[in-house]
Chains A and B, each alone.
Chain A
Amino acid sequence: MPDSSKRSASARPIPPASGIGLRAEHYDAMLARRPKLGFIEVHSENYFGAGGRPRAVLDALARDYALSLHGVGLSLGSTDALNMGHLARLRELVERYSPRLVSEHLSWSSVDGRYFHDLLPLPYTEEALRLIAERIERVQAYLGRRILIENLSSYVEYSHSTMPEWEFLTAVAARSGCGILLDVNNIYVSSCNHGFDAAHYLRSIPAQCVGEMHLAGHTVRSTPDGTILIDTHNQPVSAPVWQLFELAARRFADVPALIEWDTDLPALEVLLAEAARADRAREKPHALAA
């Protein structure tokens, strides 16, 4: 069993200032302007290529910014064998950049060797818990470091789940010793899609496990049997998610937050303004307390 005092100390290697997800569309603007940010986060897989512009840009920016590597393709929850080729490429990146944070998802995205490139939910059962916790332990041993695991947006729930997602996520962290990357937008999206209390989710996550938070925009779509929220990362963070974030920022006071924007990318300024807003939302509780 990992030592929990060490775990909470290593959970927050980034000061609680906000960062942005770095995407290729903003390479030039970032290199030219070097805006003040708590950290930058990249999708690990986009830097799996051994050379070229992505690596050159990351080499330059990693000198000036704290870096977080966020994986989307490891398929941790899959019943296939762990993809060691993928993991080897990730380890090479980790060794090259010594990132402050490394994260992946509480999901599966492949079966029988076929990859869907989407984050699919697990049933929240003892069987799934054993599988993913054991695989996270193997990944952490292989990388020689702790990783964070992120909750996802989901559109379906399984009838044989025996516990709610927050309980499953907490148990994954307790068993594997991993930290939690809490995506506040994903909590909100799933809470609307499945009808649970988002604030209760937040309150159920042990504060010392959380090493990072995510914020992003989602899309609301009407269907014949009600609305469905889709995690699209193509617009500003919505008002209810900001509200939930204020609650999260009080509970996870010293945890850095990240703005994610992946499609229909606006100018860099828009992302910086969202990050600044996250910083202000974080200051609010302190102002009230003073």
Chain B
Amino acid sequence: MLSLRNLQRTMAGAILQPDDVERLDCLRARTATAVRRLRVYRNNVRATLTGALETGYPVVLRLLGAEYFQALALRYVRDCPSRTGNLIDYGAEFPSFLETMTELQTLPYLPDVARLERSMREAQLAAEPRRVNLEALAGVPRCRYEELRFAIHPSARLFASSYPALRIWQTNQPGYAGDPQVSLEEGGDLLLVIRRDLEIEIERLSPGEFTLLYQLEQGRNMRYACESAFAAEPALCVTTALRSHVARHTICGFHY
């Protein structure tokens, strides 16, 4: 008789590859019946995990087509098992997995589109920010400005792509009625993905604004963040950028 541990390991293998089962003494049915029954589990597991990828990556699904996406998803399910009991966590490595697929080299932007979709998904469920009175910023003495550090909204994801990822995403939304043509010559994107009032917003940032928010998110002080931002965009107006992101809750706390 198998120990429970060995039974679970045996069953795990049998569920993943029921057609490789030659005999399974731990099951009550004869082998042909057992294999048919094990296929029910295999199909459930596959449908649940590939379904989670379809839900998480609808634009990748649309770009690849259902059949091809399904084949790729099955390979991902085989190579990248779920490591938590929460299905929503599944698929975080899918963008990097797409990057390793040599057959997808004709769609070089695909991993970034997947990353954008993953960022949106994370932003949807991220924590609410703590409520802080940002008007108190007015009371910060000018001589301390350089030491200020800002808290960024927990849902905010800064995302840089060498491809027009946002336009690709937009043109592949259900009901999109604009120009469906996207040229890769349009250049890359610097994006902020954020949840505001329960809705996901994606906005394009200038290089300076992106760098500023990136450094603040990394916990750098204003002096460092501004120096980096000016290096990326000498004409950046920091005051305008900060005011705008405070007003729209990208920035939601400070300390010095």
Q: Does A228 lie within 8 Å of B8, measured CB to CB?
A: no
Q: Does A45 lie within 8 Å of B4, measured CB to CB?
A: no
Measured between beta carbons, the chain B residues less than 8 angstroms from A118 are 15, 41, 44-45, 48
* Contact string against B for A residues 59-74, beta-carbon threshold 8 Å, 1 for contact and 0 otherwise: 0000000000000111
Tell me the count of chain B residues lying within 8 A, CB to CB, of chain A: 48
8 A Cβ contacts from A224-249 to B? 224-225, 228, 230
Say yes or no: is B2 at the interface (Cβ < 8 Å to chain A).
Answer: yes
Given A115-B85, A228-B36, verify A49-B8 contact (CB < 8 Å): no
Question: Most chain-B Cβ atoms within 10 A of its Cβ — which of A72, A110, A117, A123?
Answer: A117
Q: Does B126 lie within 8 Å of A156, measured CB to CB?
A: no
* Contact string against A for B residues 25-55, beta-carbon threshold 8 Å, 1 for contact and 0 otherwise: 1111100111011101100110011001000
Measured between beta carbons, the chain A residues less than 8 angstroms from B5 are 79, 111
Say yes or no: is B70 at the interface (Cβ < 8 Å to chain A).
Answer: no
Residue of B nearest to A85 (CB): B84
CA distance A257 to B65 in the complex (A): 41
CA distance A228 to B44 in the complex (A): 14
Listed in ascending order, the chain A residues whose CB lies under 8 Å from chain B are 45-46, 48-56, 72-75, 78-79, 83, 85-86, 89, 108-118, 120, 122-123, 125, 127-128, 131, 155-160, 193, 223-225, 228, 230
Q: Does B86 lie within 8 Å of A45, measured CB to CB?
A: yes
Q: Does A158 lie within 8 Å of B124, measured CB to CB?
A: no
Q: Does B36 lie within 8 Å of A117, measured CB to CB?
A: no
Say yes or no: is B132 at the interface (Cβ < 8 Å to chain A).
Answer: no
* Contact string against A for B residues 193-231, beta-carbon threshold 8 Å, 1 for contact and 0 otherwise: 001001000000000000000000000000000000000
Measured between beta carbons, the chain B residues less than 8 angstroms from A49 are 88, 124-126
Residue of B nearest to A89 (CB): B86
5 smallest CB-CB distances across A and B, nearest first, come from: A49-B125, A73-B85, A50-B127, A115-B82, A111-B8
Q: Does A230 lie within 8 Å of B40, measured CB to CB?
A: yes
Listed in ascending order, the chain B residues whose CB lies under 8 Å from chain A are 1-5, 7-9, 11-12, 15, 25-29, 32-34, 36-38, 40-41, 44-45, 48-49, 52, 81-88, 90, 123-128, 154-155, 195, 198
Q: Does A117 lie within 8 Å of B40, measured CB to CB?
A: no
Give chain B nearest CB distance to A42 CB in angstroms. Answer: 13
Chain A to chain B contacts (Cβ below 8 Å), 5 pairs: A45-B87, A111-B12, A156-B29, A156-B38, A228-B40
Question: Most chain-B Cβ atoms within 10 A of its Cβ — which of A52, A125, A160?
Answer: A52
Q: Does A128 lie within 8 Å of B85, measured CB to CB?
A: no
Measured between beta carbons, the chain B residues less than 8 angstroms from A120 are 8, 11, 15, 41
Given A111-B8, A155-B40, verify A116-B45 contact (CB < 8 Å): yes
Q: Does B86 lie within 8 Å of A116, measured CB to CB?
A: no
CA distance A179 to B81 in the complex (A): 32
Residue of A nearest to B87 (CB): A117
Q: Does B85 lie within 8 Å of A83, measured CB to CB?
A: yes
Give chain A nearest CB distance to B233 CB in angstroms. Answer: 32
Q: Does B85 lie within 8 Å of A110, measured CB to CB?
A: yes
Residue among A122, A127, A158 making CB contact with B28, cutoff 8 Å: A158
